[in-house]
Amino acid sequence: MTTKLSSCAAEQVNGERLLDLFLELAKINAPSTKEQLVADYLKKALPELGFTLEFDDAHKNFDGEVGNLIAWHEGTDSSIPPIFFSTHMDTVLPTEGLKPVIKDGVIHSDGTTILGADDRAALAAYLEAIRAIIEGGIPHGPIEFILTVNEQPGLVGARYLDYSKAKSKTGYIFDSSGDVGQIILKGPYSSRVWFEVEGNAAHIALNSEEGNSAILIAAEGLSNMKLGQIEEGTLANVGIINGGELTSIIPGSVTVAGEVRSFSKEKLDAQLKHMEEVMQKAAEKKGGKVKIKVEKKYLGFDIPKEDILVKTALKAARNIHVNPYLTETLGGADTNVLNENGLTTITLGLGFQNIHSFRECISVENLVNTGRLTAALIEQWYENHKEK
């Protein structure tokens, strides 16, 4: 058994080349459902690194330009179980004319667009890590990329991914704001809920006696609804109210929509039940009606600390001299959807900040460490399985 204190693979990562690659990828204009340009880039770049690739038909479900990309590299030792790296190819808007600016070791946009470090930084790091592994002649098992489209509006590409194309069962997604070293083991269950509240429409001056305001019924329900942080690890929110026609009309219907997130499926269900009950009660009390629809957004995941994915991540982080730390998140990610579909996945931090805003940024240090950690993960994954 060999015990290594540092990663040879990580030492092969070329920080300057990685930075250049990130700047190039960041400038590719490919927001959600319009990922063709970044897909074209990868169609050329991945075969040069020894990958075969294919696209699925996910985009046909939502009128996108291109499907999810699944790419495969045999590696130097096919006896090792394959490991995948995943991220999304899309960014939020606006991206038109994106010009990255580097100041004091931190990459920003010029203030008129987002930067797209979410998640082109991961994409750049993955490509550089593979290049480094190959150039360094580092032995490694098969590597797969699962690169999704249309992630930003709600993990849509991952939901329609053709999972029969993925050959790996375990992998990593670098897509969180913690500095490199962050390892996220636990993500929430989430469901959306819609209340269609019905009263009775009437004109305030002509037949107001027939009126029953749906807005007031909804208000009664909402005023009795527990929202915000329900307890540690359970959140609820009402984010949408739609209804009413004219200021002179007593509104006959209003739609109220919200969502619940929790690490516990039981607590998620209990909170949904509470929200349904108070709205139902309000409708009964005020002589109206309510139709309720609940829809699963995604399932939670909880990867044990003893899992080899976690052990590999802890060791690989130490090998590149960053401090690993285990966390959980109430944010949703492709990680939720991949786990739900049988791919054991954990999220790792890459240190981007203020994403989805003009102030989005990432330090060059975190960018380069993402490349180094990716290379170290591939190397450590191989070592862990070789030792067995």
Known catalytic residues are 90, 151
* Largest interatomic CA distance in the chain: 88
In angstroms, the CA 315 to CA 312 distance is: 5
Residue of 256, 215, 207 whose CA lies nearest to 236? 256
| 35 is an interface residue for Zn ion by CB under 5 A | no
**Interatomic CA distance for residues 186 and 208, integer angstroms:** 53
Position 90 contacts Zn ion (CB under 5 A):
no
How many Å apart are CA 33 and CA 39, to the nearest integer? Answer: 11
* DSSP state letter for 177: S
CB of 313 to Zn ion, least distance (A): 18
Q: Which is nearer to Zn ion, 97 or 153 (CB)?
A: 153
Q: Which residue, among 266, 290, 278, 272, has the nearest Cα to 191 in the 3D structure?
A: 272
What is 41-83 written as a DSSP string?
HHHHHHHHTT-EEEE-SGGGGTT-SS--EEEEE--S-TTSPPE
Q: How many CB atoms lie within 10 A of CB 183?
A: 22
Cα–Cα distance measured from residue 337 to residue 120, given in angstroms and rounded to the nearest whole number: 20
Q: Which of residues 248-307 bind Zn ion (CB under 5 A)?
A: none
Rounded CA-CA distance 92/159 in Å is 18
Smallest distance from Zn ion to CB 153, Å: 12
**Residue 119 or 196: which CB sits closer to Zn ion?**
119
Q: CB nearer to Zn ion: give 144 or 175.
A: 175
Short-list 324, 346, 308, CA closest to 182: 324
The stretch among 64-72, 93-101, 169-177, 334-342 that binds Zn ion (CB under 5 A) is 169-177
Contact predicate 91/120, CB 8 Å? yes
Residue 300 beta carbon to Zn ion: minimum distance, rounded to whole angstroms: 18
Nearer to Zn ion, 158 or 250 (CB): 158
Name which of 86 and 363 has its Cβ closer to Zn ion: 86
- Judged by CB, which is closer to Zn ion: 118, or 259? 118
Say which residues have a Cβ less than 8 Å from residue 61's Cβ, sequence separation at least 6.
Answer: 156, 160
**Angle, vertex CA 266, rays to CA 260 and CA 267, nearest 5:** 45
Minimum distance between the CB of residue 354 and Zn ion, rounded to whole angstroms?
Answer: 13
Q: Which stretch binds Zn ion (CB under 5 A): 45-53, 65-73, 172-180, 290-298?
A: 172-180
**Minimum separation from the CB atom of position 180 to Zn ion (A):** 15
**Smallest distance from Zn ion to CB 331, Å:** 10
User: Burial of 5 by CB count in 10 Å (0-12 exposed, 13-18 middle, 19+ buried)?
Assistant: exposed
Count of residues that bind Zn ion according to CB under 5 A: 3
175 sits near Zn ion (criterion: CB under 5 A): yes
The H or E element containing residue 197 is strand 189-198
Q: How far is the CB of 119 from Zn ion (least distance, A)?
A: 4
Contact criterion met (CB below 8 Å) for 10 and 373: yes
Quick one: 117 or 282, whose CB is closer to Zn ion? 117
From 10-18, 129-137, 174-182, 194-202, give the range in contact with Zn ion by CB under 5 A.
174-182
Residue ranges in 104-143 that form contacts with Zn ion under rule CB under 5 A: 118-119
Q: Using the rule CB under 5 A, give the single segment among 50-58, 171-179, 339-347, 369-377 that binds Zn ion.
A: 171-179
Q: Is 111 left (phi over 0), alpha (psi -120 to 50) or beta?
A: left
Find the shortest distance in angstroms from Cβ 173 to Zn ion: 9
Query: Closest CB to Zn ion among 117 and 313?
Result: 117
Cα dihedral 272, 344, 314, 23 sign: negative
Which residues form the interface with Zn ion (CB under 5 A)?
A: 118-119, 175
